[in-house]
Amino acid sequence: MALDIPKIMATDQETAEIATKAIDIGSSINISKSEILTPRQVAAILGVTYQTIKNYIFRGRLKTYKTPGGHHRIRREDLMHLGCLEDRPSREEMADRYNELYHGYISTLRALTTALDTRDGIASGHSRRVANYTVSLTEALGISEEEQESIKLAALLHDIGKIFVMEQILSKPGRLTDQDRYAIRRHPEMGELVVNGVEMLKRTKPVIRHHHERFDGKGYPDGLSGEEIPLGARMIAIAGAFDCITSECTFQPTRDLEEAIDEIERCAGTQFDPEIVRVFLENRDEVVRGNHH
């Protein structure tokens, strides 16, 4: 397919002189100043490196004309005949391919967290539900779509560090020992380590690390308080607690929706950010419906 190559005016004196000379001597090149490009300009237009353009020239895949000083100059129209570039996907095609790859990536993460949830003492689907509740909260708070997506990923992966905690501890029905509690309290830090080397997940790191901080500073692992805690982590804290209260689990009896709402409201200002609790309560129906998304 043809490339829509924008015209770039020759700005250096040498290029203008070559164009004028080509016209004056009746050369068959017959090009105007606005059609002459340097290899670096071509590289910028096509979004490739200067060395790539040099390779095309040396291999004879890109036609050029030389100045008296031996510098390569390229006609804009000759770029149309550069075969390998005619097959470059359009922006729409590239966006479609990226979205397909991204959604496949998210599906893989969901499968991973679903498998992880089966090891925990909470009803299967905890990570997915927390992600959905959190997304509903981000929408109610008017957070940008880009930040919403980042927080959603963090919510989906908030408990990923539990892969390092023994299943016997996670699903233990009785009282936890100090050693058990220490192992569980390490999971936010371990979760941060899990995503540390994944470029697409780098923005989730602080949210995953701090989702068990408390608004009053009595949480873990770093004892952050108030707005020191990342916004996404403050939302996940509420969403996670709400799901634990209303879902079947081995370490506490399931409570109904009103009891869960009362508990969230009671802990505003201590465990939870009071402003996010206010938004949660005002939009409770939309947020609760989030687990059906």
Q: 186, 161 in Cβ contact below 8 A?
A: yes
172 is catalytic: no
The tokens 């919403």 sit on which residue?
148
Q: Active-site residue among 54, 66, 162, 205? A: 162
SS3 at position 188: helix
130 vs 84, 167, 247, 279, CA distance in Å?
46, 21, 11, 16
- List 74's β-bridge partners, or say none: 37
Nearest to 288 by CA among 70, 66, 134: 134
Q: Which helix (H) or strand (E) holds 37?
A: strand 36-37
What single string gives the DSSP state of each residue in 65-96? EE-TTS-EEEEGGGGGG-HHHHTPPPHHHHHH
Instruction: Tell me how far apart the alpha carbons of residues 86 and 79 are, in angstroms, rounded to a whole number.
Output: 9
- What are the structure tokens assigned to 33, written together? 């100043």
Segments in the chain forming alpha helices (H): 13-24, 39-46, 50-58, 83-86, 91-117, 126-140, 145-156, 167-170, 178-185, 187-195, 205-209, 231-246, 257-266, 274-282, 284-288
SS3 at position 226: helix
Residues identified as active-site: 162
